[in-house]
Chain A
Amino acid sequence: QVQLQESGPGLVKPSQTLSLTCTVSGGTINSGTYYWTWIRQPAGKGLEWIGRLYTSGSTSYNPSLKSRVTISLDTSKNQFSLKLTSVTAADTAVYYCAREPLYCSGGSCSQGAFDFWGQGTMVTVSS
C-alpha cells in the first residue's frame, strides 16, 4: 500500500520561502506511471491545486502561483518537494501531497483522479 508523508517547518516568516517534502513509501516514485502533486487547503476553505511533477522532470503549475512555485524530485530518497517563495499570510494552509495516476494505452496517456494523499501538514505564515 502506497503511503505519502509530508514534512517541513510548521511556521514560516513572511517574505521567506516555504519548503516541504513528501516521502513516498510502498512504491517507487520513479515508476513513470504517476504524476506527483501538491494541493493546499486554507483552514475551513476549499482545495487549491498547486502543481505537479512527472518523473521525467516536467512540471505544471497553477498560474496563480507559478512565479513563486518549484516542485522537484529526489529519486534517490523517493521524495518530491515543494518550494514557495515570498510567502504571505494568504499562504497559510494545510499542504497535501498526492499521487495522480497516469493511464497509458496504445501510445496515448490519460491522467486520473488523485488516488493517494498524505495526511497533510499545517503551515502558518507569521512573524
Chain B
Amino acid sequence: DIVMTQSPDSLAVSLGERATLNCKSSQSLLFSSNNKNYLAWYQQKPGQPPKVLISWASTRETGVPDRFSGSGSGTDFTLTISSLQAEDVAVYYCQQYFSTPYTFGQGTSLEIK
C-alpha cells in the first residue's frame, strides 16, 4: 500500500495569513503516460463528509475559492491557503488515487491562532 504522511498534524495560523500543509507519499504518484499526479486534497468540517478541493495535485475544483492552491509532484505535495479565513477551520486530508487500495493521510487540523 502507498503510505501518505501529512505534516504538521495540527497548525494554527492567524486570520489573513498563509497556511501551508504538506503531504508525502511512499512512492511516486506521477503517472508517466499522462504526466498527471494522482493526488487530491479534501477539507472536512465537523459533522460533514470530506469535500474535494484539489485534484491532480494542482487542479482546483469548481467553486473552490482561489485562495486554495495545490503544488508538488512525485512524492511531495503542498496545499496552500493564501489568506486564511474563519471558514477554513477544518481537517485537511491528502489522498492518493494512483493505485488501489487508495489511501489517505492522517489529516492536518487547521485552526485560527
Contacts and interface: CB of A to CB of B under 8 A. Distances in A.
Interface in B24-41: 31, 33-34, 36, 38, 40
B12 to A, nearest CB: 19
B55 A112 contact: yes
Given A100-B97, A111-B97, A113-B55, A49 B102 contact: yes
Given A49-B103, A112-B97, 12 more contacts: A46-B93, A46-B106, A47-B50, A47-B95, A52-B100, A62-B101, A63-B101, A64-B101, A100-B97, A108-B33, A112-B55, A115-B52
A47 B104 CA distance: 6
B50 A117 contact: yes
Interface of A: 46-49, 52, 60-64, 96, 98, 100, 108, 110-115, 117-120
Contact of A118 (B49, B97, B102): B49
A62 B99 CA distance: 11
B101 A46 contact: no
A21 to B, nearest CB: 17
Contacts of A98: 49
Contacts of B50: 47, 96, 114, 117
Nearest to A66: B101
Given A111-B97, A113-B95, A113-B97, A46 B104 contact: yes
B79 to A, nearest CB: 13
